[in-house]
Amino acid sequence: MQISFLKKISLNAVQILAIGFAIVIFIGAVMLTLPISSSNGTVTNFLDSLFTSTSAVCVTGLITVDTGTHWSYFGKTVIMLLIEIGGLGFMSFATLIALLMGKKITLKERLLLQEALNTSNIQGLVKLARYLLMFTLSVQLSGALLLSTQFIPEFGIGKGIYYSIFHAVSAFCNAGFDLIGNFSSLTGYANNSVVILTIGGLIAIGGLGFAVWAELYNYKKSKRLSLHAKVVVSMTLFLMIAGSILMFIFEFNNPGTMKGMSFKGKILSSIFASVSPRTAGFNSISTDAMSTAGKFLTIILMFIGGSPGSTAGGIKTATAGILIMTVISVIRGRNDTEVFHKRISKDIVYRAFAVTTLGLVLITVVTMILSITEVGASFEYLLYEVTSAFATVGLTLGLTTKLTSIGKILIALTMYFGRVGPMTVVLALTNKKGNNAIRYPEEKIMVG
């Protein structure tokens, strides 16, 4: 696919990605304002359309209007396509279309694809893109088939198939959009093992990252995993298991969430409440009725998010793993961050700290501004909403529909920054890297 207009302007890869996401969001917003997109055939407010488009492209799931009842099937299909583009990345999506059309991928487009897929080298990118397409379609189709066993008997053949496909795409892309209606998400399916485990499985698969799944698939032949894959898998399993256990303890006797459930329902809901915040946005229990401990745990899981190169958001599991191992290495008196008997370069450690710090700063600033614009909203609701937007999760305590116009714009921008990535946005704005040719004299400073 030739991108001729890129040759006329001087933009680096991160700037093209940042601008590309913005363009897709705007096009989606315009389409959603059309009368054909709403169920009652009227024009939808542009701000609500822009918010929905941003949430879909940024695979978040926060909504100001109910997806299941407000939009027509045309509007829902537009949202589903925006989710797919956002989940794969617009450059990855464009490359896949080019491959299907038999067009040649140029070197510049390969460099863009490298940045979009967050890979360390340019070799094998086209092959990885083909694998990504086959993997995505096969997983989503498998998920849709499983969901159809539950949705077809409930909604009928046509509606059941559509709902199965939509929710499979939304879950795999970690988007959190649902068509059940009335902002209920999956609370009506808390005891349905097929729906909860299928959606949860799609979330986990999409949030693990395409490169990691490629390594796991080829493990029988190679008999080895890269350090990246080991860290991602280890952190993912730890967060899923620890999160499920803690959520079970926190919500077991909560009358607003799990107290009235069967033991099976409690187990399913605990697992789902641990998996979904990283970073899908579906919920099988009431988020507003959760205990304070459950809400705080959800905020932590949302902030960490999924894995690099996946459909998920947050600071990423690998980043959290590096931070944890850096602290452990410092406590042990090591000069380097060591993980699985390997040394992590200082540049990667610095980047991990930078991503985390930028994320915390963004959440802090937006929360402070919303505390002024959203009169009457508690700090707990504001922090939960902003963290969900930054990590592109989509969970809410019910604040999204009550946001002011300024609040909607701030949350939409937070979703955009969270999906594109804080570091990507900063690099896109600065358009240059620091000059390391000059080194200043070293001096000590007390910490701790």
**179 neighbors 167 (Cβ within 8 angstroms):** yes
**Burial of residue 285 (number of CB atoms within 10 Å: 0-12, 13-18, 19+):** buried
171: which strand partners? none
Average pLDDT over residues 402-410: 94
Q: Number of C-alpha atoms within 13 angstroms, CB side, residue 14?
A: 17
DSSP letter for 273, please.
H
**Tens digits of residue pLDDT in 190-229:** 889 999 999 999 999 888 877 788 788 777 777 788 888 8
Average pLDDT taken over every residue of the chain = 84
Per-residue burial over 296-322, b if 16 or more Cβ lie within 10 Å, else e, is ebbbebbbbbbbbbbbbbbbbbbbbbb
**Structure pTM?**
0.85
**Tens digits of residue pLDDT in 19-40:** 778 888 999 999 999 999 999 9
Query: What gap in Å lies between CA 117 and CA 115, rounded to an integer?
Result: 6
**270 neighbors 251 (Cβ within 8 angstroms):** yes
Task: Give residue 386's identity as a one-letter amino acid code.
Answer: V
**Tens digits of residue pLDDT in 77-88:** 999 999 988 877
Average pLDDT over residues 331-355: 87
Query: What gap in Å lies between CA 307 and CA 342, rounded to an integer?
Result: 20
With a pLDDT cut of 90, the percent of the chain lying above it is: 50
